[in-house]
Amino acid sequence: MTLAELALFGGPKTINKEFLRYNPIGEEEVAAVTAVVRGGVLSKFLGTWDADFFGGEKVQAFERAWSSYFKVKHAVTVNSNTSGLIAAIGAIGIEPGDEVIVSPWTMSASATAILVWNAVPVFADIEERTFNLDPVSIEKNITPRTRAIMVTDIFGHAAELDSIMAIARKHKLKVIEDCAQAPAARYRGRFAGTVADIGVFSLNYHKHIHTGEGGVCVTNDDRLAERLQLIRNHAESVVEGKGVTDLSNMIGFNFRMTEIEAAIGIEQLKKLSRLTDERARLAQRLNGHLQGLAGLRVPVVEADCTHVYYVYPLIYDDRETGVPREQIVKALRAEGLAISDRYVMLHRLPMYRQKIAHGSKGFPWSADFYKGEVSYAEGICPLAEDLQDRRFMALAMCMHDYSDADIDLLGEAFRKVWSQMARLEQLKSAG
């Protein structure tokens, strides 16, 4: 059988269809929203010490449902994961000039939440099994100023949380888990997001379940829950009435979720297990197509963990094929595959490279209260940098409602490109 020419060289494209948009919203959400809108109470929060300080009926019902699903004592809804991370950093009592260790391989908000409180993000490297913070690198980056670790469960798989919590206990650090991409992922008998002192979920439009924008913080600590609620809702004007005497970081925001979003959230939560199980099933099917392709490593799922595949991450080793990633990605894209070859690399952002955040004079890094000297130079996270520059590839799994046949088509595009690797290699030698 003669092989079809690669689309890159003018042959027929493997994927000629638009995949359905991923859409977890259905009639249940429509009915729930309609009921709230008809009732006219679109939000019930009051930023004073009052029964309405905790928000309306739907917000509170959603929080009860979330804490019961995730088996955690407190759930505090917010208007985004970003807001939740900011509230979490404030709640743990960060002081200006403290250092917080964070991954460079995460969405920017995981690190900016630290800067908001005039603390300093310190990027530790990641490990390449799950792309999460490497406990060894965390420990290397601990200084006398380190107060906390912000760990992200990237792509839908939890970080090495037991090791990270052990390091935190040893050095008396708090841990915040950015669980935006990993709702319902399991980590050794618990849910990701519930292992750290505070976990923060995202309900933005791109996630497994969503409320348009939104987020939820979870904690088993009564005091942290109270501080999260205060920072969410104008803390400074509530502390007196509530009798709160610790004024540290009691700068309040309006991070409140509306009744409409909470009503949607209640319905979305009922679908979470089904939706994440389906992502995992599709990923398994894709693994079946990709396993064994030279130089390609399919996603790793650690023992006693589950992966919810917000992203389906791959590692490609060009030493096994002789063809650089760039060429493979071009060939896959020509076949109609929406593959990405980048994630984020936070220490390469201009804000960190130039240390310009609050104002224009290098604050907080240049402030008297900061006694350290953090570096954001190239080379501080060698593994993450190497993955970004040479080896990483990914498919977004919450972007389309793939059928089994769609997944088979994705697999076919990979297999076609791999079957003609020699052709791509020749191209490289031809220059």
Q: Which of 109, 119, 122, 225 is in the footprint of ligand PLP by CB under 6 A?
A: 109
Q: At a CB cut-off of 8 Å and minimum separation 6, what does 370 contact?
A: 96, 97, 120, 364
Smallest distance from the beta carbon of 103 to ligand PLP, in angstroms? 9
Give the span between the Cα atoms of 350 and 51, in whole angstroms: 44
User: What are the backbone angles phi and psi of residue 100, rounded to the nearest 5°?
Assistant: -125, 125
Give the span between the Cα atoms of 80 and 83, in whole angstroms: 5
**Token pair recorded at residue 44:** 């019930």
Give the span between the Cα atoms of 293 and 125, in whole angstroms: 28
Give the span between the Cα atoms of 28 and 56, in whole angstroms: 20
Binding mask 214-233 for ligand PLP (x = CB under 6 A): -x------------------
Whose Cβ is closer to ligand PLP: residue 128's or residue 213's? 213
Q: Which of 43, 110, 112, 420 is in the footprint of ligand PLP by CB under 6 A?
A: 110
**297 burial type by CB count under 10 A (0-12 exposed, 13-18 middle, 19+ buried):** middle
Smallest distance from the beta carbon of 179 to ligand PLP, in angstroms? 8
Whose Cβ is closer to ligand PLP: residue 197's or residue 335's? 197
Whose Cβ is closer to ligand PLP: residue 210's or residue 325's? 210
Whose Cβ is closer to ligand PLP: residue 14's or residue 106's? 106
CB–CB of 138/145 below 8 Å? no
Q: Which of 48, 60, 163, 204 is in the footprint of ligand PLP by CB under 6 A?
A: 204
Q: Which of 43, 80, 141, 194 is in the footprint of ligand PLP by CB under 6 A?
A: 80
Question: Can residue 130 be called a binding residue for ligand PLP (CB under 6 A)?
Answer: no
Smallest distance from the beta carbon of 394 to ligand PLP, in angstroms? 13
How many other CB atoms are there within 10 angstroms of residue 293's CB atom? 20
3-state secondary structure at position 31 = helix
Question: Can residue 81 be called a binding residue for ligand PLP (CB under 6 A)?
Answer: yes
Whose Cβ is closer to ligand PLP: residue 181's or residue 327's? 181
Residues contacting ligand PLP: total by CB under 6 A: 14
Give the span between the Cα atoms of 196 and 235, in whole angstroms: 24
Question: Can residue 43 be called a binding residue for ligand PLP (CB under 6 A)?
Answer: no
Strand arrangement, sheet containing 296-297: 296-297, 311-316, 392-396
Which segment (58-66, 80-88, 390-398, 411-419) binds ligand PLP by CB under 6 A? 80-88
Whose Cβ is closer to ligand PLP: residue 178's or residue 335's? 178
Determine which helix (DSSP H) or strand (DSSP E) holds 242, and give its type and residue range: helix 239-242
Smallest distance from the beta carbon of 80 to ligand PLP, in angstroms? 3
Give the span between the Cα atoms of 114 and 420, in whole angstroms: 47
Q: Which of 82, 146, 219, 233 is in the footprint of ligand PLP by CB under 6 A?
A: 82
Question: Can residue 152 be called a binding residue for ligand PLP (CB under 6 A)?
Answer: yes
Residue type, 411: G
Smallest distance from the beta carbon of 333 to ligand PLP, in angstroms? 23
CB–CB of 274/306 below 8 Å? no
Contact footprint for ligand PLP (CB under 6 A): 80-82, 106-107, 109-110, 152, 178, 180-181, 202, 204, 215
